[in-house]
Structure 1
Amino acid sequence: MKALVHAEINGFEGLAYREINEEQPKAGEVRVALKGAGLNHRDLFTLTRHKNTDPPLIIGSDGAGIVDAIGEGVTNVQVGDSVIINPGLGWKENSDAPPADFEIVGLPFHGTFAEKIVIPAENAVHKPEFLSWEEASVLSLAALTGYRALFTRGKLQAGMKVLIPGIGSGVATFLLQFAKAAGATVYVTSRSKEKCMKALELGADKAFDSNVDWTAELVGEKMDLIIESVGAATFNKSLDQLRPGGTIVTFGASAGDVVEFDLRRFFYGQFNLLGSTMGSGEEYLEMLQFIEKHEIKPIIDRTYHLSEFKEAFERMEKAEQLGKIGFSIV
């Protein structure tokens, strides 16, 4: 089968769209013939984490397709079923943190940037009918990350004020849609005027330039909840906008992972700082129920054929996208 494989050379130069042997499902596993896949920032990081001394690896975490083979003992799906892939491996029930053996599809195990993938049967979930193949293929990792950050960790309730710095990413667009569906007032930032305008179209109550004075833009407003995925470049700006007793949930550090802040101001403010990553299988099913109830669909930036991976990776590396970048496979 054809796949996007990382091998022999560290970094982007080690990627090649080439032939690789397809696998057969073992007991408790299924094989999915993929219709599409979704690109995430994690895929960029994988190119440095997966070393040239490691065995060749098919990268990619998001995907959807049709079950074409099942292993012994599989009962939750049948050959011919349309499924969406939950990329989280080994985290079944919701818990304070993932178990020690938690992994994500695409590293260290083969991922979704291929014509076929073998995964544990429990990670093949029936595709919501209202989603197209293109939409289902890019949904899982970003939507699950956003769902856990907002609801499990952030305890979002209707009427809360929420700030989402850096609205361009796939997770951020889900955060905006989820928070509005839950009845929150949502503020977003971006360095891009175009992305701010798009956020307003998606329902944001206010969108403003990340480079301006946030306090001046939000005069008289303090946030109940801030979802931070940018990192050092915005963390202290976010902290300035938090109400006493408010909460920051962080799951990313694309603009720096080391932050200094005034600890005295933090504890006098009675602030809460929570980390979050991905989510459990239980939360994944809750998230799918939530998007079906509210008919939420991914915001798709562009879709490339898998053989056009260079253009897709370059677009994400330059942060030019608004929403999800997808790959068509068939």
Structure 2
Amino acid sequence: MSGVVLVGHGGFENLEFRTDLPVPKVGAGEVLIRVAAAAINNTDINTRIGWYSKAIREGTSEGGLTGFAATEDDDASWTGQALKFPRIQGADCCGHIVAVGDGVDPTRIGERVVVRNLLRTYVDYRPWECWTFGSECDGAFAQYAKAPARETFNITSDWSDVELASIPCAYSTAEGMLHRAGVKSGETVLITGASGGVGSAAVQLAKRRGATVTALAGQSKADQVRRLGADRVIFRGNDLVDALGKDSIDVVIDVAAGPQFSQLLDVLKRGGRYAVAGAIAGPIVELDVRTLYLKDLSFFGCTFQDDVIFENLVSYIERGEIRPHVGKTYPLENIVEAQKDFLSKEISGKLVLITPK
């Protein structure tokens, strides 16, 4: 089959498009999927460049093109373990089941499906543990992929394959943050990186919960973020305290961290909640612990997701409660072009790879 393999940490030279890869062999409880489309995510780039290594102190963009000289392979995956190469990446998968392993109902062959991007089957459903599809196991950047049957979800929707492929990673991350922080109707929510995949998903999903949403985004993306449902847009780089006032926000949903971190805490109300699932603007921040305890703030680091998160997303799609936000598509062999566009942040919406027929 055709696919893209990651052969090491670093620049784009570590992504190899090949046409001689073996089709995965399904085991008991697994399904084989003919991949139709797979989206690009921050985690794909972070994994390629070894950004998860504690030796790295810069944001993703600093090493996105060439990698980091300081990366230490031993802790350069999101789990803090060494990644096994070669690896087929791709956390987002939409396709059709073409074969099943022992113990899987054969009538599932032909289903159009999406795969839960954080897999629990391979860790026996232990609390707080999971594998990322395309990190600890091969993912969707290929013509075929295998996945646990119980974490592969049939979808009844008129969305295209490309649109469905834009959902799993970004939307489950966003929904996981909102779920963990307990966002409720009537609350005020500030969302960073609101024009990106996770941020734009969070805008929609927070509005679905009845929250009032303030989005932090680049000026050129403001109208698009408003169309997704944001009640107010603050331009990236503006002082948040000047724009919003101190103690004005119930919940911060953050994927950026970086230099504005302290401002995010300043605008939180007393008893406010801060949820984070990324640090694209820089992982090392300055925290005045007095702000944390004197304002009775709650912090939520959000990676692991309860099973209900992905199950809810499927129901939101099927009931038409959310809509996809696709910016551009590419053939799979053009993955380097797609990642360059992703890093440029010039295209709003998900960038999706289409696999060869």
Q: Distance in 2 between matches of 1:268 and 1:76?
A: 58
Aligned residue pair count? 325
C-alpha distance after superposition, 1:146-191 (max 9, x if no partner): 111002x11011100000022121011110001111111000112x
Q: Distance in 2 between matches of 1:272 and 1:131?
A: 37
Equivalent in the alignment of 2:34: 33
Q: Distance in 2 between matches of 1:221 and 1:144?
A: 28
Equivalent in the alignment of 2:13: 13
- Using the TM superposition, name which of 258-267 and 8-17 deviates more: 8-17
TM-score normalized by the length of structure 2: 0.85
| AA matched with 1:184 | A
The change in CA–CA distance for 1:9 and 1:204 in structure 2 (over 3 A counts) is closer
The change in CA–CA distance for 1:96 and 1:183 in structure 2 (over 3 A counts) is farther
C-alpha distance after superposition, 1:283-314 (max 9, x if no partner): 21022223433531221111111111111010
Equivalent in the alignment of 1:238: 264
Give yes or no for the alignment of 1:316 onto 2:342. Answer: yes
Q: Distance in 2 between matches of 1:274 and 1:47?
A: 26
Q: Which of the numbers 179, 201, 208 marks the counterpart of 1:181? A: 208
C-alpha distance after superposition, 1:43-90 (max 9, x if no partner): 102213479994421111101111001111113861111111112111
C-alpha distance after superposition, 1:105-157 (max 9, x if no partner): 11121110000001111121002313221111121011111111002x11011
Equivalent in the alignment of 1:79: 109
Q: Which of the numbers 279, 283, 293 marks the counterpart of 1:267? A: 293
The answer to whether the Cα contact below 8 Å between 1:26 and 1:72 also exists between their aligned partners in 2 is yes
Equivalent in the alignment of 2:97: 67
Q: Which of the numbers 120, 142, 145 marks the counterpart of 1:90? A: 120
| DSSP-derived class of the 1:234 partner | helix
Q: Distance in 1 between matches of 2:8 and 2:229?
A: 46
Equivalent in the alignment of 1:3: 3
| AA matched with 2:18 | R
The answer to whether the Cα contact below 8 Å between 2:265 and 2:291 also exists between their aligned partners in 1 is no
Superposition CA RMSD, Å? 2.4
Give yes or no for the alignment of 1:47 onto 2:48. Answer: yes
The change in CA–CA distance for 1:224 and 1:292 in structure 2 (over 3 A counts) is farther
The change in CA–CA distance for 1:194 and 1:8 in structure 2 (over 3 A counts) is closer
TM-score normalized by the length of structure 1: 0.92
Q: CA deviation at 1:16?
A: 1.3
Q: Which of the numbers 187, 190, 199 marks the counterpart of 2:225? A: 199
The answer to whether the Cα contact below 8 Å between 1:247 and 1:273 also exists between their aligned partners in 2 is yes
Q: Percent identity?
A: 28
Q: Which of the numbers 286, 296, 304 marks the counterpart of 2:330? A: 304
Give yes or no for the alignment of 1:139 onto 2:167. Answer: yes
The answer to whether the Cα contact below 8 Å between 1:249 and 1:273 also exists between their aligned partners in 2 is yes
The answer to whether the Cα contact below 8 Å between 2:208 and 2:321 also exists between their aligned partners in 1 is no
- Using the TM superposition, name which of 45-54 and 221-230 deviates more: 45-54
Instruction: Describe how 1:208-223 pairs up with structure 2 within 5 A.
Output: 208-219=234-245, 222-223=248-249
* Structure 1 stretches lacking a partner, 5+ long: none
Q: Distance in 2 between matches of 1:196 and 1:234?
A: 19
- Using the TM superposition, name which of 251-260 and 126-135 deviates more: 126-135
| DSSP-derived class of the 2:34 partner | strand
Q: Distance in 1 between matches of 2:101 and 2:270?
A: 54
Give yes or no for the alignment of 1:116 onto 2:144. Answer: yes
More strand by share: 1
